[in-house]
Structure 1
Amino acid sequence: MDGFSDGWLWWAIGVAVLVPALLVVLTEIIGALTRRGHAAAKPLRLLRNWVIPAAALLALLAFAFRSDAENAWPRVVATVLGFLVILLLLSALNVALFSNAKEGTWRERIPTIFVEIARLVLVVVGLAILFQWVWGADVGGLVAALGVTSIVIGLALQNAVGGVISGLLLLFEQPFTIGDWLEVGAVQGRVIEVNWRAVHIDTGAGIQIVPNSTLSGASFTNKSQPRGAFHATTTVKFSTDDPPHEVVALLEEVADSLPSRATGERAAADYLGAGAYSVTLPIAAPSLQQQALSTYLAWLWYAARRRSLALDGDSTDPLAEPARLAAALDVVAPTLHLGEAERELVVATSRLERYGTGEIVQAAGRVPREVRFVVEGRARVAVEADGGLIDIATAEPGDYVGQTALTREKALAAAVAADVLTVLVVPVATLDKLVAARPMLAQEIGRSTELKRKLAAEALAGVSLAAAPPARPVRGR
């Protein structure tokens, strides 16, 4: 009965009953949180596995057995328990602040290194308080010595530390991320790495290392912000005799056909006077700027000559020479079954056009007003599917595209220049006369149209089949 009167037996019974019950409850809670993937399971697991057993042991030593206050074992256990409590509080704080941080908030943007440094400081301060409370240690002198040492080291390494601090501030502010396109003075490229000391920029001609201190002390341009289309601008000149509204329409039409154009964005062109025009190209990413401008200027050269507009003040086109048209007729004459009279009709009503690699010769979904016969080069015949083109055939010299002009139907497939392409453009009125004179030509064009319709249907069916989800097996009862 002395144990009950002294109280130590009650402590022993309380620890023996309450601790297992608490561990069982925590195990169930941790299991439920783990199944849900909740971050709070980690600190609770630390509480169950380490903090509660250490607290129970300390209770037995300090209260149940009434150990001497000068005994080292209760102090050792109290020190371990205090350290575990510090770790538990830090883990819980991390879960509360950063585990469910929303995108764009300061909690999501704060660099991991800042969190680690703050955690280290809190651990050191907590241990100092713990040792002073449990062991009665005087930590004031140690703190003062560490402060003086830190000042000396900081002065000796101020240049290096300045770069590190600049890097940490950049990481915290995050004015750019990996993959953004930066322009820093004469340096322009894509960010591939950001560390404490410097930013690594891929310029296309090598990796440029820009110190963080340089970035933090100077202005730079992030061409990837704001998110969305990147607008590249160029200036072109035409003859002052060219009607401005026709030139603006041509500039915007060519720009809108670029493959690198941002989805849902339209190009814009402005007349500056004296034959000068400014064009703004909305492209998908800054990394495509040079390629987009090069392709645009090349396609504009071909398109301007097809419209008889004087890009850079020059409207001459070698295709306009009569000898070139006569040579083109020799290529397509077998396809059209041309006699002497029909040849003269084609010469009088037709013309030659040239397209750059990748240009759209015939758009799908539109009723062609002319039939184009390939004279030089090749054209890809493709159908549109899932925002892209699927090739179904190739048109080579002597072949033709846009034959649905005869039936006044929309073209099922698009024709794209596979390389520099020269075509003979025959108006539908001329082709009607040729078909009337040569019924066999109408049959051949009809068979060609049916073949392309079949190829287009097969290509679209293949895409639909590939995109469809796999069929789920049906289990019998």
Structure 2
Amino acid sequence: MTPVFDGTAIGWAIASVVAVPVLMVILTEVIGILRRRRSPAVKPLLLLRNWVVPFGGLVGLLVFATRSDQDLVWPRVVATIFGFLVILLSLSVLNYALFATADRGSWRQRVPQIFIEIVRLLLVVVGVAFLFQWVWEADVEGVIAALGVTSIVIGLALQNAAGGIVSGLLVLFEQPFRQGDWITTGGTTGRVVEVNWRALHIDTGSGLQIIPNSGLADASFLNLSRPPGPFTAVATATFAPADPPHVLIATLREVAGDLPTLTPGGEIEVTNAGGGSWSVAIPLDSPVYADSTLSTFRSWLWYAARRRGLSLDKIPVDAAVREAALGHALESTARALHLDDALRDDALRECRVEQFGMGETIDRAGEMGSSVRRVLEGRVILTGPDGEPLPGTVERGDWLGTSALTRERSLTTATAATVVTVLTLPIAFVDRLSRLRPALARDLGADAELRRTQVRDMRVRPGVIGSRESSAPATDQ
């Protein structure tokens, strides 16, 4: 008996009619499994099942099973389509093997898509040329030579533009930055919003700057987003050599730790550079916050240095000015504090006048204070433990930190809404003063009860908080 698959017509007919459906069923099952796994191999398999296998069976029927005359047009047309589909399938498999399965950060993953498309186009052109030569017996050597000469002429005519395109492609291939990165080049700092084969688009905050890739390839630039992670802004400060280092470190960390743009959980590094110079590394989520953050840090540091008697920029705090400010503050609050001459002398020795910059934290919820403050100038915003603001503001004549009198942790966070000047009274002095002046003790107790009531009402009825008039007696102004 003659074997079925010996090249006869009946063998090819059976192969086309039976093998094609069986192969398509098998491919359908495999595709279903890979789809559930979300595998990138689904795309070439779909091309194989939906197009290559059916046209392969059709080629088997027309060319081999029916033994058609090779000069007929339809067999050649079908063979051409089948060959073109095979070329596409080969490119799809190559793309899957090289790029779809590339590891993150590898050179295959960094190859720009435009490179892949150009190489794919060239392979398709070469494949189609050989296909026409094989199926139609066409002379493609002359066409290829003509295209080569034409490309040389066009390249010479457009060498400047082509140079820019090539530079852009090289920049895309190397990928020294990505969309969303912050870079500095030519004195310009901005965020990359688009990278294409011709130019780089940078959002500078005041407009969109377009930088040609040809110029970028020949220039140096700084990528502020590499290595990945929070951006670090560095602030420098100079103090007098006599200032205690441990006090300086604590002050610098405290001021930097209160900055609103600080990366949550970021570690602040303070370094002694010698000669009274200190550097502070502040982690930020983005370089866009660097300028505003450093400006706020320097402003807050000035107030903090004055409060702690530090010589910022090696300029000591004028003791006479501080004493004069304290004397004026005690004169303006003598009635509210019920001071006589003896108590006034004690206050001059123990109390002090302090200033806080706009946005600084004066008291923190959950911390136990060591002093009570009376606002002399400015406005203060109070927020509860959950960050919800209490009604109104604390202004001139109001008290801050009265919960410290009962040795309780503060229920509110006090933040300076403007530049705030306060008279700071140590707890020991306030205790002694309260025993001598019961009216002052009532005022301070009423203020502490007011804060407790406001926070309690906030927790019980969010958004409905008792007012000062309805919750507790007003403090003595």
Q: TM-score, normalised to structure 2's length?
A: 0.85
AA aligned opposite 2:148: G
Deviation for aligned residue 1:61 = 0.8
Structure 1 window deviating more from structure 2 (164-173 vs 221-230): it is 221-230
Aligned to 2:140: 139
Aligned to 2:473: none
Describe the SS at the equivalent of 2:156: helix
AA aligned opposite 2:410: A
Structure 1 window deviating more from structure 2 (338-347 vs 201-210): it is 338-347
Matches within 5 A, 1:303-318: 303-314=304-315, 315-316=317-318
Deviation for aligned residue 1:437 = 3.0
Structure 1 window deviating more from structure 2 (359-368 vs 163-172): it is 359-368
Deviation for aligned residue 1:33 = 3.4
Distance in 1 (CA, whole Å) between partners of 2:406 and 2:66 is 104
AA aligned opposite 1:408: R
Deviation for aligned residue 1:436 = 1.9
Aligned to 2:274: 272
Aligned to 1:53: 54
Structure 1 window deviating more from structure 2 (116-125 vs 26-35): it is 26-35
Distance in 2 (CA, whole Å) between partners of 1:322 and 1:295 is 28
Matches within 5 A, 1:56-455: 56-239=57-240, 242-243=243-244, 246-262=247-263, 263-273=265-275, 275-314=276-315, 315-316=317-318, 320=322, 322=324, 325-327=327-329, 330=332, 333-334=335-336, 345-383=346-384, 389-392=387-390, 394-439=393-438, 441-442=440-441, 445-446=444-445, 448-453=447-452, 455=454
Describe the shift of the 1:193–1:331 C-alpha distance in structure 2 as closer, same or farther (beyond 3 A): farther
Aligned to 1:28: 29
Deviation for aligned residue 1:307 = 1.8
8 Å CA contact 1:319–1:325 kept in 2: the answer is: no
Deviation for aligned residue 1:104 = 1.2
Deviation for aligned residue 1:406 = 1.8
Distance in 1 (CA, whole Å) between partners of 2:33 and 2:461 is 46
8 Å CA contact 1:377–1:419 kept in 2: the answer is: yes
Distance in 2 (CA, whole Å) between partners of 1:242 and 1:322 is 23
Distance in 1 (CA, whole Å) between partners of 2:214 and 2:457 is 60
Distance in 1 (CA, whole Å) between partners of 2:92 and 2:457 is 59
Deviation for aligned residue 1:319 = 6.6
- CA offsets, 1:192-220, max 9 Å, x none? 22222222223334333322222222222
Aligned to 1:474: none
Number of residue pairs the alignment of both structures matches: 455
Describe the shift of the 1:231–1:123 C-alpha distance in structure 2 as closer, same or farther (beyond 3 A): same
Distance in 2 (CA, whole Å) between partners of 1:199 and 1:344 is 69
8 Å CA contact 1:255–1:267 kept in 2: the answer is: no
AA aligned opposite 1:363: R
Deviation for aligned residue 1:384 = 5.4
AA aligned opposite 1:391: P
Deviation for aligned residue 1:323 = 5.8
8 Å CA contact 1:248–1:271 kept in 2: the answer is: no
Distance in 1 (CA, whole Å) between partners of 2:218 and 2:376 is 60
Distance in 2 (CA, whole Å) between partners of 1:269 and 1:289 is 19
Deviation for aligned residue 1:453 = 4.5
Describe the shift of the 1:230–1:14 C-alpha distance in structure 2 as closer, same or farther (beyond 3 A): closer
AA aligned opposite 1:369: S
Deviation for aligned residue 1:331 = 5.3
AA aligned opposite 1:437: L
8 Å CA contact 2:266–2:283 kept in 1: the answer is: no
Describe the shift of the 1:107–1:425 C-alpha distance in structure 2 as closer, same or farther (beyond 3 A): same
Deviation for aligned residue 1:49 = 2.0
8 Å CA contact 1:229–1:265 kept in 2: the answer is: no
AA aligned opposite 1:66: R
Distance in 2 (CA, whole Å) between partners of 1:135 and 1:237 is 84
Deviation for aligned residue 1:316 = 3.6
8 Å CA contact 1:325–1:352 kept in 2: the answer is: no
8 Å CA contact 1:332–1:375 kept in 2: the answer is: no
CA RMSD of aligned residues (A): 3.1
8 Å CA contact 2:326–2:352 kept in 1: the answer is: no
Describe the SS at the equivalent of 2:406: coil
Deviation for aligned residue 1:325 = 4.4
8 Å CA contact 2:399–2:444 kept in 1: the answer is: no
- CA offsets, 1:32-59, max 9 Å, x none? 4334433322222222222222112111
Unaligned runs of 5+ in 1: 464-477
8 Å CA contact 1:184–1:221 kept in 2: the answer is: yes
Describe the shift of the 1:73–1:332 C-alpha distance in structure 2 as closer, same or farther (beyond 3 A): farther
- CA offsets, 1:116-165, max 9 Å, x none? 11111111111112111111222222222222222222222222111111
Describe the shift of the 1:448–1:219 C-alpha distance in structure 2 as closer, same or farther (beyond 3 A): same
AA aligned opposite 2:205: G
Distance in 1 (CA, whole Å) between partners of 2:417 and 2:202 is 35
Describe the shift of the 1:113–1:167 C-alpha distance in structure 2 as closer, same or farther (beyond 3 A): same
AA aligned opposite 1:326: H
Distance in 2 (CA, whole Å) between partners of 1:13 and 1:342 is 115
Structure 1 window deviating more from structure 2 (364-373 vs 25-34): it is 25-34
Aligned to 2:475: none
8 Å CA contact 1:325–1:351 kept in 2: the answer is: no
8 Å CA contact 1:349–1:430 kept in 2: the answer is: yes
Aligned to 1:471: none
Describe the SS at the equivalent of 2:67: coil
Structure 1 window deviating more from structure 2 (88-97 vs 50-59): it is 88-97
AA aligned opposite 1:282: P
AA aligned opposite 2:152: I
AA aligned opposite 2:389: D
Describe the SS at the equivalent of 2:70: coil
- CA offsets, 1:312-348, max 9 Å, x none? 34324897253664346645854x5667765565444
Distance in 1 (CA, whole Å) between partners of 2:252 and 2:421 is 21
Describe the SS at the equivalent of 1:406: helix
AA aligned opposite 1:85: V
Distance in 1 (CA, whole Å) between partners of 2:93 and 2:334 is 80
Taking only the aligned residue pairs, the percentage that are identical comes to: 51
Distance in 1 (CA, whole Å) between partners of 2:183 and 2:45 is 44
Distance in 1 (CA, whole Å) between partners of 2:450 and 2:8 is 99
Describe the shift of the 1:459–1:88 C-alpha distance in structure 2 as closer, same or farther (beyond 3 A): farther
